[in-house]
Amino acid sequence: MQAKGRRHKSKLIDKLAFGSYNKKIVPPKTSFDWLTRDEEEVKKYIAVPYCGTLFPVSFFYDLFKGMKTLHKQENLNNIPKDLPIYIFAGNADPVGNYGEGIINLYNIYKSLTISNTTYKLYTGGRHEMLNELNKEQVIRDTIEWFKGII
C-alpha cells in the first residue's frame, strides 16, 4: 500500500480475496455466482457499474484492521449480555466458510454469556440471503425473530 498508495487497485489482492469463492459451484456461469443462486439477481449485480469492480488496497487494509479491532477480547467483553443477536447465513456462502464461520461466531457469543443469541443456516443459501431464491422465507424468519424480542 505504501509503494503505490491507498487507492491502488491490485488484481492479485482481488484474486486472493475473492478468487476461490466460486470453487464449489460447478460449472459457474459468472464470476459472481457465489453471491446467490438467483441468476436474475446475479445479472442485476453485474449490470451495476459499481458492483464487481476492484477494491482499492485501502479497503482490505481497513477491513482487516476493523476485524482485528472487533475481535479484541476487551471489545467482545463490552457487548451487552442481554443484546438480542440474530445471525443468519447460507451454508453455501464461501465468505462464512460454508456455515462454519457463523457457528463459530455463535459459539463466541455464547461463550461470552450473551443470553439471547440465535443463528439459522439456510440449506443451499449463498452470500446474499436477502437476494436468494428463498428470500421470502428468510424475511419471514427474521420478522418472527424480531417479534420474539419485542
Tell if the pTM clears 0.75, that is, is over it. Answer: yes
pLDDT at 5 over 90: no
Could you tell me the pLDDT band of residue 101, with boundaries at 50, 70 and 90? very high
| H helical segments located in 20-99 | 39-47, 57-70, 73-77
Mean pLDDT of 91-104: 98
Q: What band does 4 get if pLDDT is binned at 50, 70 and 90?
A: confident
Question: What is the Cα–Cα distance from 29 to 67, expressed in whole angstroms?
Answer: 31
- The per-residue b/e assignment along 100-113, b for 16 or more CB within 10 angstroms, e otherwise, is eebbebbeebeeee
State the amino acid at position 61 in one-letter form: Y
In this predicted model, what pLDDT tens digit does every residue of 46-71 receive, in sequence order? 999 999 999 999 999 999 999 999 99
Give the model's pLDDT for residue 6: 85
In the chain, what are the domain boundaries? 11-149
Q: Is the pLDDT of residue 2 over 90?
A: no
Domain 11-149 belongs to what architecture? 3-Layer(aba) Sandwich (3.40)
Q: How far apart are CA 44 and CA 51, in angstroms?
A: 10
- pLDDT for residue 116: 95
| pLDDT at residue 67, as a whole number | 95
Query: What per-residue string of b and e applies to 33-49 under the rule 16 or more CB within 10 Å gives b?
Result: bbbbbbeebbeebeeee
